[in-house]
């Protein structure tokens, strides 16, 4: 009991000190807004998460507002997850004396880099990890008691957990194999009960069409009708290829996906969970100049040896079926997820585009003589074409005609010429999928947790082989304080208690817009924080916020017109935003986020100057310059401008600094100069 209380206290203190008090970037703002208005966020809708979030807002919103309440839900579920890690490790190691090792696994999990990051913000990962561990605990309990009620419980919570995150189905293959190995025959009534519980668990998804029918203010993809409901569950918004089909066509090189590569490399993330290297997780870690570079190199060497040592220790316990279950789960949630998720490294084509390219080439092959060889693979063609375009124009023809590595490109040009002679066009070579836009370590959170259990098993095995009683005792109790290493290493980067950058960013954007103005946004991080401010804090509801990326969906255009009934627009697809501008500008101010391309709207006005975080359509340059200075130096509010390891925070700070330098070139007064220099220095 002492160890369990210690885990709870560590979690409450650690997470209590670092919990975000407001929203963070990416999905957090949307999730909090959805929970507050009982809306529907992006596919697959996360209905159970939204409902639980609403419950937490009702119970704890009085403490520090809805954002804090939903963040608190993540923290509490993460602590419960670590308690389950303790119970799982105890069951695997059996003896009461092994509680110390179970505490080691749970405590280092609490403060692991990725797990801690997700535990202190509004997200689905804390709860989904808790449900995963609950399933593993239940199957071990089933083995211990031979009671099939635990298997039925697993089936129910797995499908209920789909309303949180699809991760909740992850343990089922491992559990299925575990049950088969134990050769337990299940009665027919078990399968009828299982079918009923699957339906019962899945029933949380009915929230989507039911709530959608009431037309909430946040109603992504409007899943009221059956087809739209199925599209949301199938995540059709993100492409026609399902994940299983996409996984068979590699969107990145195997080495980049498994080793060290920006935003995707698994091994880099794994080695930096408990003692982060100073040069970032995804740096390959070669010997480079400077003390930090040398530390990076030795950090990797040491932790790679520790990785091997853990596997060696686990191998000695291979006859323990519980250990095998944990190892299976580790490989399923590391190697398995790397292969399944197929994260993009910016060098490959998406499978959907590749499929259409191959189909077109197969059809065009009929018009190309047999004397001309087949085209090489699409990735090889891209590499050759990229090199070709990088060459000076004067060298290109010579390279294609003589270089052995240009053979595929030479064939490509031959196809083009033959098809052109016959009045046909060569299929356009699809563009590569851009590299993942953010760190994707959170996908591998289960792997890091199961590895912590494996490390506890390995430590237990290793200490059994120590003959010196004093040395064994010192080593064992040293594990009880192992949590101090990740706690001290990760505390500063995970302390969100004073992080209001996302909220300030949203306020500053909205305050850049005149009364009843129109704002066009483009991505998650310039949209979700605004939704939060308008739907949760009821701030600047007069501003019409329209996301350009979503505006191509009929459901979104209908939602905009419903939420802003004063807009009189015939929603007509690609021209939706342009029609709004034609109907309401210049009577109403029309603004675009900073990254907008002014040339896209030059037929309305040659001027689209920056006035801060937004561009204003048609404003006089002199007036815009004055407003830019005033916004950056006087009107905008800034919290503690520290990135804390978050790419979105770093990007926001970079934007502020860029704008401050731009404002300095516009002749601010002395007081404004001081404020701008201070902003740049932060």
- Other residues' Cβ atoms within 10 Å of the Cβ of residue 397: 12
Sign, CA dihedral 593-599-605-608, equals positive
Residues 417/425, Cβ–Cβ less than 8 Å: no
| pLDDT class of 60 with cuts at 50, 70, 90 | very high
Q: Calculate mean pLDDT across residues 601-625.
A: 92
Percentage of the chain lying above the pLDDT 90 cut: 50
Length of the chain: 682
Among candidate residues 524, 336, 345, the one with its CA nearest the CA of residue 444: 336
Check residue 496 and give left, alpha or beta (phi > 0: left; psi -120 to 50: alpha): alpha
- Return contacts of 51-60, CB within 8 angstroms, 24+ apart: 51/163, 51/204, 51/207, 52/127, 52/164, 53/122
DSSP string covering 250-265, please? -SS-HHHHHS--TTT-
Residues 647/669, Cβ–Cβ less than 8 Å: no
Condensed to tens digits (0 to 9), the pLDDT of residues 273-288 reads 988 776 566 776 665 5
Domain residues of the chain, as ranges?
1-236+477-489, 246-348+437-465, 370-421, 501-681
Helix (H, G, I), strand (E, B) or coil at 489: helix
Residues 508/8, Cβ–Cβ less than 8 Å: no
Q: What whole-number distance in Å separates Cα of residue 20 and Cα of residue 16?
A: 9
Decide if pLDDT at 62 tops 60.
yes
Q: What whole-number distance in Å separates Cα of residue 128 and Cα of residue 168?
A: 6
Q: What are phi and psi of 200, to 5 degrees?
A: -65, -45
Condensed to tens digits (0 to 9), the pLDDT of residues 404-450 reads 777 777 788 888 888 887 777 877 777 777 888 888 899 999 999 99
Of the candidate ranges 23-27, 237-241, 589-593, the one whose mean pLDDT is the lowest:
237-241
pLDDT score recorded for residue 380 = 78
The pTM (predicted TM-score) of the whole model is 0.89
Residues 225/213, Cβ–Cβ less than 8 Å: no
Condensed to tens digits (0 to 9), the pLDDT of residues 472-494 reads 677 777 888 889 989 998 998 89
- Return contacts of 360-369, CB within 8 angstroms, 24+ apart: 360/427, 361/427, 364/415, 364/419, 364/424, 364/426, 364/427, 367/418, 367/419, 367/422, 367/424, 368/415, 368/418, 368/419, 369/418
Q: What whole-number distance in Å separates Cα of residue 392 and Cα of residue 397?
A: 10
Q: What whole-number distance in Å separates Cα of residue 329 and Cα of residue 289?
A: 39
Condensed to tens digits (0 to 9), the pLDDT of residues 639-649 reads 888 888 788 89
Q: Which residue has the higher pLDDT, 178 or 372?
A: 178
Residues 442/117, Cβ–Cβ less than 8 Å: yes
């Amino acid at each position: 009991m002492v160890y369990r209380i210690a885990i709870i206290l560590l979690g409450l203190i650690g997470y209590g000190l670092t919990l975000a008090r407001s929203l963070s970037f990416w999905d957090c703002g949307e999730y909090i807004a959805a929970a507050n208005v009982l809306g529907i966020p992006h596919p697959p809708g996360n209905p159970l998460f939204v409902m639980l979030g609403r419950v937490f807002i009702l119970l704890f919103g009085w403490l520090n507002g809805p954002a804090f309440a939903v963040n608190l839900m993540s923290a509490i579920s993460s602590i419960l997850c670590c308690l389950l890690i303790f119970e799982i490790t105890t069951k695997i190691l059996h003896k009461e004396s092994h509680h110390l090792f179970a505490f080691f696994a749970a405590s280092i999990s609490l403060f692991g880099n990725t797990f801690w990051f997700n535990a202190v913000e509004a997200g689905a990962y804390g709860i989904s990890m808790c449900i995963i561990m609950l399933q593993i605990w239940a199957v071990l309990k089933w083995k211990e008691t031979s009671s099939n009620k635990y298997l039925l419980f697993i089936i129910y919570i797995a499908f209920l957990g789909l309303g949180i995150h699809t991760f909740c189905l992850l343990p089922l293959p491992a559990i299925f194999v575990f049950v088969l190995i134990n050769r337990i025959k299940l009665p027919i009534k078990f399968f009828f009960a299982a079918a009923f519980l699957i339906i019962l668990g899945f029933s949380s998804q009915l929230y989507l069409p039911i709530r959608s029918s009431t037309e909430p203010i946040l109603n992504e993809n409007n899943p009221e009708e059956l087809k739209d409901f199925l599209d949301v569950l199938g995540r059709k918004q993100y492409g026609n290829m399902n994940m299983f089909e996409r996984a068979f066509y590699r969107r990145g090189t195997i080495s980049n996906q498994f080793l060290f590569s920006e935003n995707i490399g698994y091994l880099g993330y794994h080695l930096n969970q408990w003692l982060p290297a100073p040069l970032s997780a995804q740096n390959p870690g070669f010997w480079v100049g400077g003390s930090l570079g040398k530390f990076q190199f030795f950090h990797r060497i040491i932790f790679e040896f520790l990785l091997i040592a853990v596997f060696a220790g686990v191998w000695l316990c291979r006859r323990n079926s519980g250990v095998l279950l944990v190892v299976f789960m580790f490989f399923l949630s590391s190697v398995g997820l790397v292969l399944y998720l197929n994260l993009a490294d910016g060098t490959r084509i998406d499978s959907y585009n590749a499929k259409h390219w191959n189909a077109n080439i197969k059809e065009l092959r009929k018009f190309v003589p047999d004397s001309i060889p087949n085209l090489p693979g699409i990735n090889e063609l891209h590499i050759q074409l990229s090199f070709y375009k990088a060459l000076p124009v004067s060298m290109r023809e010579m390279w294609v005609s003589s270089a052995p590595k240009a053979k595929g490109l030479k064939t490509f040009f031959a196809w083009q010429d033959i098809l052109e002679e016959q009045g046909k066009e060569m299929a356009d070579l699809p563009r590569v999928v851009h590299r993942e836009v953010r760190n994707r370590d959170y996908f591998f959170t289960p792997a890091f947790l199961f590895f912590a259990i494996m490390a506890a098993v390995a430590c237990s095995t290793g200490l059994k082989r120590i003959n010196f009683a004093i040395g064994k005792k010192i080593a064992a109790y040293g594990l009880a304080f192992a949590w101090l290493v990740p706690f001290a290493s990760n505390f500063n980067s995970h302390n969100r208690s004073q992080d209001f950058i996302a909220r300030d960013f949203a306020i500053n954007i909205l305050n850049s817009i005149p009364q009843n103005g129109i704002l066009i946004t483009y991505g998650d991080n310039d949209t979700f924080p605004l939704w939060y401010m308008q739907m949760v804090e009821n701030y600047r509801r007069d501003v019409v916020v329209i996301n350009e990326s979503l505006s191509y969906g009929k459901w979104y255009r209908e939602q905009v017109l419903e939420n802003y009934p004063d807009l009189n627009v015939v929603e007509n697809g690609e021209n939706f935003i342009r029609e709004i501008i034609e109907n309401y500008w210049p009577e109403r101010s029309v603004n675009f986020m900073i990254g907008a391309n002014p040339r896209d709207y030059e037929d309305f006005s040659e001027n689209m100057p920056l006035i801060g975080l937004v561009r204003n359509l048609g404003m006089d340059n002199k007036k815009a310059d004055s407003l830019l200075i005033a916004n950056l130096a006087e009107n905008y509010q800034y919290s503690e401008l520290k990135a804390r390891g978050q790419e979105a925070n770093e990007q926001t700070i970079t934007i502020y600094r860029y704008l401050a330098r731009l404002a300095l070139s516009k002749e601010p007064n002395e007081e404004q100069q001081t404020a701008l220099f201070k902003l740049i220095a932060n």
